[in-house]
Chains A and B, each alone.
Chain A
């Protein structure tokens, strides 16, 4: 685990983080009111107490980067630039919502402008999808980073494993935020996963990882910023475990009586917004007039956004039909934005020898060969087993040495490490 580097923020950045956390909470508070008025069609999920994670991580991205938020990442949508009305209308199944009532909650996206991929309810599926966005972006020469979120619960799905392994094998510019909020619906994390730190899961994929206090927005931001920069630089995917707590039930219907009182009290005393306000006030970055200004700004904004959402109609019933296939004019225009010479990926420049280079071995014949025998090369074969001590993540995250002598050296080092144990 790397310790995050100290990095100074501008006053505006500090205040942005504050504003977006406040906006995140205010949007969700407005939705709770709408829910109680029976204006929300389906379930309502909450990120109360987890705002620092959605906001701090997404704030570390650049405009061109891609996100795929989960249901507790309203804050990430807001930081990306989604107006609150869209979130309200999604929940209210309104015709002016991004999915025009065809889906709810945070299940919507924007391919062209904001670069948001819509989630599905099945957990973990966004991981290979966002790895694909990163790999595809790299292919086109774009220096983009793809980010998604998963909970402690979702980290036990099969596709979590497949996706991370593939992302790591491809060294995709992908950052996964693992929000460990201690509860998957009613099941505590200790009953789901026999690990103290879910960040340890990254080790199994040869990925580097960080652990961060998910209720400290500055720590979250700085850690995410470093991870994003490293991923963008080609160091491969990175996992950040943000430790936090789900303050409310799985959704509005769930009173979460299974959560011990002491646990709830512990975390309620660590509210990320209250903590941050204290920090900002202490650093003289926030005072009463500025706070008042933000309060008023939020109130005015959300009043207008809520009103717009409430006035939007329900979709006409017949809108249930159509749109299943991408045909004609109602189809999104598919265009690849090339930022590298296409010649690099087209013949003859793309032509290669169809052989895997294996350190210590010569190469076999290509796929055209009848009997593609692998023959021994000059270097001695080192049959070292990979060090399986849980500390190999950092080494594995570094690009493998290109030349044979270096490889042999690395293998020898591996062997000596093994001998020591």
Chain B
């Protein structure tokens, strides 16, 4: 029933072919808005302009001013208003023009949205999404990975996909979820990554990781852009006889503990790769999880390959040094495999 039937969809690609990461997100919003009139989109420049990255291009033309709302530059008001809309039964999608600006609405998200259901049984079916991550020389305020501020907040769900298929399926699942969901879109992937998406309606379950590559010597856990660096490293490792199992976490909250534990129990070694800074990153949480539940299965230390504990620097030389990459993953994995 979604916007699959090509002709009437304003140039929206129906599924069943190779699409970019960005197009997958656009399709997800389009199809969910077609499917359910309670779904709205609001954010800065999402309407006439179609979003700073064009993720909402064409939505205003099709769904009109009431469902695609160009807002003032007021992140707190966007999230607050979305919360109020959800109380009357709507399912707003809020775009943060760059996910860095999500912290401007920190109070609304962590105190209003996240606590509502626990405190007074008020669900807030809201999706907050936006472009995140570095590697595009956006500098310290347009490259952030602020996911862990929110992973620390009970009541939220946090998704960070790495493929067009997952981006579309998880965004659709997020829209249909009855809880506030934060959906991070790594902007490095927007136009660089293409993948097949099915023609028919589908969702990807929130809270489930996926094995991207099977292996037996060590487990590499990653997500978003670093997923691709990890896979590249795994290819190089294979050439040296090291078979890494690569798992894409996809959802950071709730974390798929079961899959992490079962892989580590098989490989006995674990490397976590994330683009977020090191201290307080998800790797620390995974280390604690393994200590609690798989201590005797570990044959080596949990190793982290992450960004530096600094703001994201602007100059390409600095940013490249700051970010993890396939080479760094390869080196760390090789070291870990020797245990």
Contact = CB atoms under 8 A, between A and B. Distances in A.
A18 interface: no
Given A326-B123, A353-B61, A125 B117 contact: no
B108 A125 contact: yes
Contacts of B75: 162
Contact of B84 (A133, A159, A347, A352): A133
A367 B48 contact: yes
A323 interface: yes
Contacts of A327: 178
A221 to B, nearest CB: 25
Interface stretch (B32-40, B264-272, B303-311): B32-40
Contact-size category for B:
35 or more
B194 interface: no
Nearest to A116: B120
Contact of A162 (B63, B76, B111, B123): B76
B119 A99 contact: yes
B88 A137 contact: yes
A139 B40 contact: yes
Contacts of B74: 128, 162-163, 165-166
Nearest to B85: A136
Interface string A356-385: 100000000011100000000000000000
A111 B117 contact: no
Nearest to A103: B119
Nearest to A110: B120
A128 to B, nearest CB: 3
A122 B85 contact: no
Chain A CB within 10 Å — which of B8, B82, B89, B123 has the most? Answer: B89
Contacts of A99: 119-120
A135 B37 CA distance: 15
Interface stretch (A332-340, A388-396, A399-407): A332-340
A383 to B, nearest CB: 22
Interface in B37-95: 37-38, 40, 47-50, 54, 57-58, 60-67, 69, 71-72, 74-91
Contacts of A158: 76
Interface SS majority for chain A:
loop
B179 A135 contact: no
Interface in B117-172: 117-123, 125, 154-155, 157
A12 interface: no
A352 B61 contact: yes
Given A102-B119, A122-B111, A356-B48, A368 B58 contact: yes
A38 interface: no
A163 B77 contact: yes
A146 B111 CA distance: 21
Contacts of B187: none
Contacts of B119: 99, 102-103, 107-108, 118
A128 B111 contact: no
Contact of B108 (A159, A325, A351, A356): A159
B202 interface: no
Interface string A104-136: 000111010000011010100101111111111
Interface of B: 8, 11, 34, 37-38, 40, 47-50, 54, 57-58, 60-67, 69, 71-72, 74-91, 107-108, 111-112, 115-123, 125, 154-155, 157, 178-179
19 contacts: A99-B119, A102-B118, A129-B81, A132-B80, A132-B82, A132-B83, A133-B88, A158-B76, A159-B80, A166-B81, A324-B155, A325-B155, A334-B86, A352-B61, A352-B64, A352-B65, A354-B50, A356-B48, A368-B57
